[in-house]
Structure 1
Amino acid sequence: MSRRRAVVVTGASGGVGRATARAFAARGDRIALLARGRDGLAAAADEVQRMGGEALVVPVDVADAKAVEDAAQRVVDAFGRIDVWVNNAFAGVFAPFTEITPDEFRRVTEVTYLGYVFGTRAALRHMLPRDRGTIVQVGSALAYRGVPLQSAYCGAKHAIQGFNESLRCELLHEGTRVRTTMVQLPAVNTPQFEWVLSRMPGRARPVPPIYQPELAARAIVHAAGHPRRREYWVGGSTAATMVANSVAPGFLDRYLARTGFDAQRDDDGAAGADGHGNLWSPADGPYGRDFGAHGRFDDEALPGSAQDWVSRNRGRVGVGLAMGGALALAAQVKRKLSTTRR
């Protein structure tokens, strides 16, 4: 096994963060688990230990810059360094923009965007003096394509995209070996749809196709080990959305105006998250349970994606295509020679 890395995962108590912590643990890495929910963190730590990793639980609200700096120092004190920092924590509100209060919009922005900024700053403080380390920004197809009912979340993801591009240019200019890369995710089967603040009738849901969080986790771990590539797209729907938005954004505006509301709502009679969801406090506090990595969509969620395999194996695909082309050319030359001899 390769050298055990010291890894930080924010939002590690549930969903993609939880699955990502397990994926790093399967390598035997040491993982610092950052989140607010203590029940989820305790359960995540137990999973990491059982899978062969080493866990450090650090309860923190990523919207608090000083708390994030202190958390990073705790990790260095415990592990000696930070090799990989994964920014993943987020918050959201499912509602029309006019029904989101200024305080709610600010809170989503502070967690989902500034949480990445503060995490990145804390990581760089320890990585730059060592001249090594990788920061993985967990993004979304919504970093490029906004959808209705998620204006605060989409705005934050767009902001992360611009921030990360700017930072990447600066790191390249400095010639440092510290890397940053971004992983753009599709709709994922996570518990967020149980705890997110929603003002829609019924419960919030992801727009199909839906993928399991382990697919996202594999992509994040791969990106951490191959950070020279600036961006990874996960899932065929992500690739299709990004390409379509680049060539026909106006069409997507009209299409999502017609379909985007109903597609994000379950009419199953169940109510959405009560009160403020997990916007102001962790979901496992008032609900009193560990939510884990998976949501309620296991029956329809896809475990893998051909696009993801191609994305992570572009070198192999390129070699395969080159070999295929060479063989085809050789066969063509052979046929011509055979014809000439006759």
Structure 2
Amino acid sequence: MPDASTRRPVAVVIGASSGIGRCTARLLGHRGWDVVLASRSGPVLQEVARECTARGARALVVPVDVSDRLAVEDLFARAVDEFGAVAAVVHTAGAVAYGRFEDIPPEVFDRAVTTNVVGTANVARSALRLFRGQGGGSLVITGSLLGKIAVPSMSPYVTGKWAVHALTRMIQLESRALDGVHVTLVSPGSVNTPAYSQAANYTRREGRPPPPVDPPEKVARAIVRSLDRPRRERSVGLANHVVVLGFRLLPAVYDAAVGPLMSVFGLSRRPTPDHPGTVLAARPAGEAARGWWDRWGRRTVPTTAVSPAAGATASRPGAGRRRP
């Protein structure tokens, strides 16, 4: 444990091996924070730890699956043992699956929802218990634009993020009486992370972020800003408010348009076999700070890039047949 006179603020970053979480850990290290790095991908977390220590941070690596409550509790215990106090917890871990509801295998649907909802509850419960005991702290939960609207072919993720938004609002209401405890929901729109190609997929077409696509560093800055200036929610994405208004005020028009728009902008033309992606197990080879998409949702790397679908075999009968 560092001497109190030289102690830097400490943040636990969950989902730190890829995308928004990885960029947040880097940014915190650059801004004078020490970090506890957590995800299922231990070897990749070691890489992130080196990126953070190069920025002057101390980094502790703790591989964890957020759906395992006891493992999450152990994560927080190890953070306290190593650093003594935790000023912030940033939760970015999530699971994505593409496909019509009835085409997604039940075990994939259930695991994705468990990761997104129960995983968030496990992290929030441990964070609030820690903050109550030490007299304060900041919790930032990463939601999504898809926690406010619905789109076809993403039922596990949309269901999970709606629940995450509801859970976060409940936590915010119930923690109002806790002095020094702040809870912020950060809701990104499309972000250039590997999540789309790492997702489970049962559509035969690789998922992609619909335009306009933001870099993950933009969301990381919003997260760190939420530690400096907590608020109920921060939305990250130029089109977010317009899309939400359309969903709420013009539901018939939205319902008629969202299917064709999803087919054109949310799914690429790159074919992919049915596969569970990272929902059931981590795939470290596909993890990185950024994905391979430009501002307009176009691929910027060759189609030979690492994908969780590479070498995948059909996960259920009839997977070799193309759907109408």
Superposition pairs of residues 139-218 of structure 1, within 5 angstroms: 139-172=143-176, 174-218=177-221
Partner of 1:258: 260
1:174-198 per-position Cα deviation (integer Å, ceiling 9, x unaligned): 2432111101101011111222111
User: How much does 1:44 deviate?
Assistant: 0.7
User: How much does 1:102 deviate?
Assistant: 2.1
| Larger displacement relative to structure 2 (70-79 or 100-109) | 100-109
TM-score by length of 2: 0.86
DSSP 3-state at the match of 1:236: coil
Superposition pairs of residues 236-251 of structure 1, within 5 angstroms: 236-251=238-253
Rounded Cα–Cα distance in structure 2 between residues aligned with 1:111 and 1:10: 12
1:42 counterpart = 2:43: no
1:292 counterpart = 2:288: yes
1:52-101 per-position Cα deviation (integer Å, ceiling 9, x unaligned): 22211000000001100010110011111111111110011111111112
User: How much does 1:103 deviate?
Assistant: 1.6
User: How much does 1:218 deviate?
Assistant: 0.4
**Structure 1 residues 225 and 200: alpha-carbon distance in aligned structure 2, compared to 1, 3 A threshold:** same
DSSP 3-state at the match of 2:160: helix
Matched-pair contact (CA < 8 Å) for 2:132–2:178: no
User: How much does 1:283 deviate?
Assistant: 0.9
Rounded Cα–Cα distance in structure 1 between residues aligned with 2:282 and 2:239: 30
Rounded Cα–Cα distance in structure 2 between residues aligned with 1:89 and 1:10: 6
Rounded Cα–Cα distance in structure 1 between residues aligned with 2:24 and 2:242: 24
1:207-228 per-position Cα deviation (integer Å, ceiling 9, x unaligned): 111111000100011012211x
User: How much does 1:298 deviate?
Assistant: 4.0
1:105-155 per-position Cα deviation (integer Å, ceiling 9, x unaligned): 110111111111000011111101222101101011111001111111011
Q: Which amino acid aligns with 1:187?
A: S
Higher-helix-fraction structure: 1
Partner of 1:230: 232
Partner of 1:326: none
Can you give the 5+ residue segments of structure 2 that lack an aligned partner in the other structure? 1-5, 299-324
Q: Give percent identity, aligned residues only.
A: 32
- Larger Rg computed on CA atoms: 1
Matched-pair contact (CA < 8 Å) for 1:62–1:115: yes
User: How much does 1:31 deviate?
Assistant: 0.7
Q: Which amino acid aligns with 2:180?
A: R
Can you give the 5+ residue segments of structure 1 that lack an aligned partner in the other structure? 303-342
1:278-324 per-position Cα deviation (integer Å, ceiling 9, x unaligned): 1111111xxxx36311111146479xxxxxxxxxxxxxxxxxxxxxx
TM-score by length of 1: 0.81
DSSP 3-state at the match of 1:187: coil
User: How much does 1:171 deviate?
Assistant: 1.1
Q: Which amino acid aligns with 1:192?
A: A
Rounded Cα–Cα distance in structure 2 between residues aligned with 1:210 and 1:198: 21
Rounded Cα–Cα distance in structure 2 between residues aligned with 1:111 and 1:8: 18
Partner of 2:305: none
Rounded Cα–Cα distance in structure 1 between residues aligned with 2:240 and 2:223: 15
Q: Which amino acid aligns with 1:296?
A: W
Rounded Cα–Cα distance in structure 2 between residues aligned with 1:151 and 1:107: 13
Q: Which amino acid aligns with 1:277?
A: G
Partner of 1:317: none
Aligned length, in residue pairs: 293
